[in-house]
Amino acid sequence: MPAKMSALRATRQILQTIAGHGWRSHSSKPAQSAHVGKPGAGFSFELTDEQKEFQATARKFALEEIIPVAAQYDRTGEYPLPLIKRAWELGLINSHIPESCGGLGLGSFEACLITEELAYGCTGVQTAIEANSLGQMPVIIAGNEQQQKKYLGRMTEEPMMCAYCVTEPGAGSDVAGIKTKAEKKGDEYIINGQKMWITNGGKANWYFLLARTNPDPNVPASKAFTGFIVEADSPGIQVGRKEINMGQRCSDTRGIVFEDVRVPKENVLIAEGAGFKIAMGAFDKTRPPVAAGAVGLAKRALDEATKYALERKTFGKPIVEHQAVSFLLAEMAMKVELARMAYQRAAWEVDVGRRNTYYASIAKAFAGDIANQVATDAVQIFGGNGFNTEYPVEKLMRDAKIYQIYEGTAQIQRMIIAREHVGKFKA
């Protein structure tokens, strides 16, 4: 608690020094407030003072500390530990850990504001940070007091990572196809299986792990799986090599093998058989920040393309004065603004206590799609230069693709949206 509170105080001291700095315009309208504190307050796009502070701090951090080193991290694939430590000091990581565990207890909306700014700097760095949120979320929504204080509390005491171990070599979108098994023996569970594409897999202090505890293939997924908290240094855990990915290369992605790993029954979340619902419930909370990250990337691509279009000249004038280019920028701007509103609605639904599955999937699908479209259009505006690594937009294009894949593919999101939409008419 003291460390986190001191970090927040440091954040506010920094904010006092950045007034009048002239940060990039975020929008022609302020974002929607996360908290409707007064009955009848109505619909508002205004941020609270605290939200503005966190947004400005994250923006300053991205501009001054992430962007200058992002290309180097992309080239080397090195894990951005110095940046993660700095984000922790500023209170920009683990923001949603409850105050009872020493955290700041911020809402989903605030987390999204921070995430968009970090992603503007580099989505590889942002994904490494956001993976903590995904790993923690099952414990936040389903952990008992002892589990939360033990595993969330330690993350407020020093910079530390965790990971969400669900995906397997043969089970990605088909979560119900998971083969990792947990067999109860006395007061322990013995876990055997393999996980794949685990972000922070080689850096995590502990994992949330989903495993099958009921071997009967006829038992529905909602009762067949159990969620566990697993210490990363447990005997029997073998961490694979760092995967070299198309984009977001400084993020740590690995396969993990669990061989006769013993986990005490005290590390079961809720109860045996509750794991699938916990894992899916976590996605409702984490998909808005993922969408916010996609928006941050798209905004960066739009800004880079706009600056280039103002400077680059063809046929005797800046290319921004050619209607073909200006219209392309207009389309890009429309997509960024609409995607931002989508994630803000999804986050707001969480913070007012509503089930947000429908809005979370809309935000994630739309933002992931437009991030790819806007990044591609930015490369087009740069022309041949856009295809070169000396310019920033080719990295943005590579980094964008994963937003249509991780935390539920673009196609899975459409399945969820269709199910939720049609369900309204069947109710």
pLDDT in tens, 272-317: 999 999 999 999 999 999 999 999 999 999 999 999 999 999 999 9
> What is the per-residue pLDDT for 372?
98
Q: How far apart are CA 312 and CA 423, in angstroms?
A: 51
Residue whose C-alpha is closest to residue 225's, from 194, 186, 187, 271: 271
Segment 37-55 mean pLDDT: 80
- Calculate the CA 135 to chain-centre distance: 10
CB 296 within 8 A of CB 368: no
Residue whose C-alpha is closest to residue 289's, from 140, 84, 108: 108
**259-280 pLDDT tens trace:** 999 999 999 999 999 999 999 9
Residue whose C-alpha is closest to residue 301's, from 329, 341, 342: 329
Q: How confident is the model at residue 103 (pLDDT cuts 50, 70, 90)?
A: very high
Instruction: Say yes or no to pLDDT of 30 above 50.
Output: no
Output the average pLDDT for the chain. Answer: 91
How far is residue 157 from each of residues 132, 136, 147, measured CA to CA in Å?
15, 15, 16
Segment 67-82 mean pLDDT: 97
> What is the per-residue pLDDT for 43?
80
> What is the per-residue pLDDT for 17?
41
Cα dihedral: 36, 40, 42, 45 (round 10): -40
> What is the per-residue pLDDT for 174?
87
Residue whose C-alpha is closest to residue 408's, from 346, 354, 341, 351: 346
Percentage of the chain exceeding pLDDT 70: 90
Q: Residue written as tokens 């707001």?
A: 348
> What is the per-residue pLDDT for 181?
98
Segment 193-204 mean pLDDT: 97
Instruction: Say yes or no to pLDDT of 40 above 60.
Output: no
Residue 407 designated active-site: yes
Q: How confident is the model at residue 6 (pLDDT cuts 50, 70, 90)?
A: low
275, containing H or E segment = helix 275-311
Q: Residue written as tokens 């330690």?
A: 154
Q: Which of 46, 158, 407, 420 is catalytic?
A: 407
> What is the per-residue pLDDT for 173?
87
Q: For residue 248, count other CB atoms closer than 10 A to its CB.
A: 27
Three-state secondary structure readout of 316-369: CEEHHHCHHHHHHHHHHHHHHHHHHHHHHHHHHHHHCCCCCHHHHHHHHHHHHH
Instruction: Say yes or no to pLDDT of 167 above 60.
Output: yes
Instruction: Say yes or no to pLDDT of 403 above 90.
Output: yes
Radius of gyration of the chain (CA): 22
**407-424 pLDDT tens trace:** 999 999 999 999 999 999
> What is the per-residue pLDDT for 149?
97
CB 84 within 8 A of CB 211: no
Instruction: Say yes or no to pLDDT of 27 above 70.
Output: no
In degrees and rounded to multiples of 5, residue 317 shows phi and psi of -155, 160
CB 132 within 8 A of CB 207: no
Residues with Cβ within 8 Å of 425's Cβ and at least 6 positions away in sequence, in order, are none
CB 177 within 8 A of CB 190: no
Q: How confident is the model at residue 362 (pLDDT cuts 50, 70, 90)?
A: very high
Segment 59-69 mean pLDDT: 98
> What is the per-residue pLDDT for 44?
87
In degrees and rounded to multiples of 5, residue 198 shows phi and psi of -90, 110
Query: 5-14 burial, b for 16+ CB within 10 Å, e for fewer?
Result: eebbeebeee
